[in-house]
Amino acid sequence: MSHQSDLISTDINAYLAQHERKELLRLLTCGSVDDGKSTLIGRLLHDSKMIYEDQLMAIKADSIKSGTTGGGMDLALLVDGLQAEREQGITIDVAYRYFSTARRKFIIADTPGHEQYTRNMATGASTCDLAVILIDARHGVQVQTRRHSFITSLLGIKHLVVAINKMDLVGYSEATYERIKADYLSFAKGLTQADLHFIPLSALDGDNVVNPSAHMPWYKGQTLMSLFETVEIAKDRNLKDLRFPVQYVNRPNLNFRGFCGTIASGIVRKGDEVVALPSLKKSRVKSIVTYDEELEAAYTDMAVTLTLEDEIDISRGDMIVHSDNYPVVTENFRATIVWMAEQPMLPGKMYDFKLGTKTVTGSVKTLKHQIDVNSLEKRPAPTLELNAIGVCEVEVDQQVCIDNYSANRSTGAFIVIDRLSNATIGAGMISVDPTHPSPRSQATNSTVHVTREERAARYGQSPATVMFIGLSGSGKSTMAHGLERRLFDMGRVGTVLDGKAMRLGISRDLPHDQQGRVENLRRSAHVAKLLNDSGLICCAAFVAPNKDSREHALSVIGRDNCFIIYLNPSLDICKQRDPSGLYAAAELTPSADIPGVSFPYEEPASADLILDTGALSIDECIDRVIKLMQDKKVI
């Protein structure tokens, strides 16, 4: 099959005009590692005679050098152009290739299968009309198969081809094909329904790629190329809702003022009544201008310049729409975000959001939940890591014009930009419902109380109290502050509750005797519980020499929520440190209120951790405490 026609040799201008009028199909290949994505594209280009002779010779030479196909031609080398890709035999970056047939033009994207390059796959899929998900017939549906299927569904790709590849390695078994098909259909029930096709093929040998396979007479469907040429994509365009984001205001002279841009969706005609957003000023379309001519009408994806009958102040980033069909204009919206940066997404941090031609500053106010792309389950999370996907509430500092992504991919999508590096770090798909109140109006709802579970999900921790106990000088306060610092560096939220600090405030009225210590610990236990209820980890430091008072504190805070860390260096070491001058004062004036000196310290019978701070460094002690907290699922 060839893209050429007889016109190319007889009338080149007629050929070019015919070629220009061909419908363009954007598609991508995706799936798990080594499923044959690059080889499939190479086979399509080879069998449709879209490879130049010198390029073909170079591929043959490189195939012998790489030795991946036993002396045969490795068609994957057509798209795996990076040195690292050829060395490892994998796809890393998105590779785009253009080809055409007598019926259509195609831009095909070869996307990577490795999990760490999921962001590259999402980038390649963002502009596609059709996705080919390859499955290795030997392995069936894999984790990356599910991941990429979910992303294609999320990005609103309406046509999906599940290509079960490498059928030659399973003896062209119909039973294997039907089993994999059933497994995929079972998983796909949780995805947005698309136009779904299944094709068994061998990209290496060309079975059912361009030409029908003689090895699989049981398959009666179309070949992959035939499907590419006939799948109906014209109806996927949104021709109902006029959305014209203004990209540039063209003012070459005093007599002309035009608004340039690409029509995101809809149809605009001369004389149409339109509204400029967000100003809400109305006018009518005076002319529709292109470089070559003036048009009577223009539609989706056409780059045009509109002139209006009235002088209206319209700037870059504004939007022109029909007067009877408005998008949602808001500063708050919900979106599903795919995170693409090594640094995690942090709720509350300021980012730039680019929606069409408009860039605004804002933040992710709330991460509602993260989506497990393997099981499609929703689970709470404090942040989004690289390649993670979550549903978020976004707030920006200016009004923006948006639509549901499912209805309009152009005005329903945005990218997130780091304000320092100017790098793209996320991509979002907007979900809005005009009938629902905005997030601000919902704040008056009586059910808006933040739950303990929501706080735990936001902070990424289970609120608990870590209580350091021991003699004066054993290192309790040092350990509490050290733990807080370590938690802070890990992105967790904790605070210190020190018995000495309590003595300066809430417990100022208590005497410095045994009963005063008991009451101070009792009051402090209630403070610790309040901190835990707020979602914080409480790093507490108390002498707590009395067993009964410790038991009472445990009952207040919760036995499953409080972990006792007993610090037991020798008394001599404690006297050498003497941070409060307690032992030195006792030598001058004997006291009956010094634990370990005036009366024995009641050691805990079942401490969660015992640390000799005389023998261990601070970092060693903190490491052991962190391990305990991880084992107990606190962090």
Please tell me the distance from the alpha carbon of residue 176 to that of residue 183, in angstroms, as a whole number.
11
Angle in degrees, CA 491, 495, 496, rounded to 5: 140
Integer Cα distance of 531 and 465 in angstroms: 9
Please calculate the CA angle 463-468-471 and round it to the nearest 5 degrees.
Answer: 165
Domain boundaries for CATH 3.40.50.300 within the chain: 7-236, 460-631
Tell me the CA distances in angstroms from 296 to 71, 249, 523, one per residue in order.
59, 21, 79
The CA-CA-CA angle for residues 421, 425, 428, to 5°, reads: 140
CATH (residue range 7-236): 3.40.50.300
pLDDT tens digits for range 30-74: 887 777 777 888 787 777 666 656 566 666 666 556 555 555 666
Across 241-311, the runs of DSSP E, i.e. the strands, are: 244-245, 248-253, 256-262, 267-269, 273-277, 281-289, 294-295, 297-299, 303-308
CA distances from 511 to 245, 508, 517, 585 (A): 72, 8, 8, 17
Q: Which residues contact 202 (CB under 8 A, 6 or more apart)?
A: 165, 166, 167, 168, 208, 209, 213, 215
pLDDT given for residue 86 in this prediction? 42
Q: Give the CB-side neighbour count of residue 604, counting CA atoms within 13 A.
A: 23
Q: What pLDDT does 206 receive?
A: 86
CATH domain 244-322 topology: Elongation Factor Tu (Ef-tu); domain 3 (2.40.30)
Question: What pLDDT is stored for residue 15 in this prediction?
Answer: 66
CB neighbours of 233 closer than 8 A, spacing ≥ 6? Answer: 23, 25, 129, 130, 158, 159
d(CA 462, CA 197): 45
At the second CATH level, the architecture of 328-436 is Beta Barrel (2.40)
Q: Which residues of the chain have pLDDT under 70?
A: 1-9, 11, 15, 17-19, 48-94, 112-119, 433-449, 592
Which of 189, 203, 94 shows the shortest CA–CA distance to 146? Answer: 189
Fold for the domain defined by 460-631: Rossmann fold (3.40.50)
What DSSP string describes 87-134? HHTS--S-EEEEEE-SSEEEEEEE---SGGGHHHHHHHHTT-SEEEEE
Please report the pLDDT score of residue 200 as a whole number: 95
Q: Where in the chain is the domain with CATH 2.40.30.10?
A: 244-322, 328-436
Instruction: Report H helices in 364-408.
Output: none
User: Taking every pair of C-alpha atoms in the chain, what is the biggest distance, in angstroms?
Assistant: 115
Q: What are 484's two structure tokens?
A: 């807080």
How far is residue 89's CA from residue 43's CA, in Å, rounded to a whole number? Answer: 17
Q: What amino acid occupies position 574?
A: C
| Buried b or exposed e, range 73-89, using 16+ CB within 10 angstroms | bbbbbbbbeeeebbeee
Predicted TM-score (pTM) of this structure:
0.62
* Long-range contacts of 597-602, Cβ-Cβ distance < 8 Å, separation of 24 or more: 597/571, 599/514, 599/545, 601/470, 601/471, 601/545, 602/545, 602/546, 602/547
Q: How far is CA 297 from CA 266, 271, 275, 288, 423, in A?
A: 11, 10, 17, 7, 37
Beta bridge partners of 95: 110
Which pLDDT score, from 0 to 100, does residue 179 have? 95
Q: What is the pLDDT of residue 437?
A: 44
Q: Name 521's Cβ contacts closer than 8 Å, sequence gap at least 6.
A: 499, 542, 544, 549, 550, 552, 553
DSSP-derived secondary structure letter, 405: T
Distance CA 334, CA 337 (A): 10
- With a CB cutoff of 8 Å and minimum separation 6, the contacts of 291 are none
Measured distance CA(358)–CA(353) in Å, rounded? 8
Residues making up the chain, counted from first to last: 635
Q: Closest Cα partner for 135 from 33, 229, 225?
A: 33
| 3 state SS for 569-618 | CCHHHHHHHCCCCHHHHHHHCCCCCCECCCECCCCCCCCCEEECCCCCCH
| Residue 88: per-residue pLDDT | 43
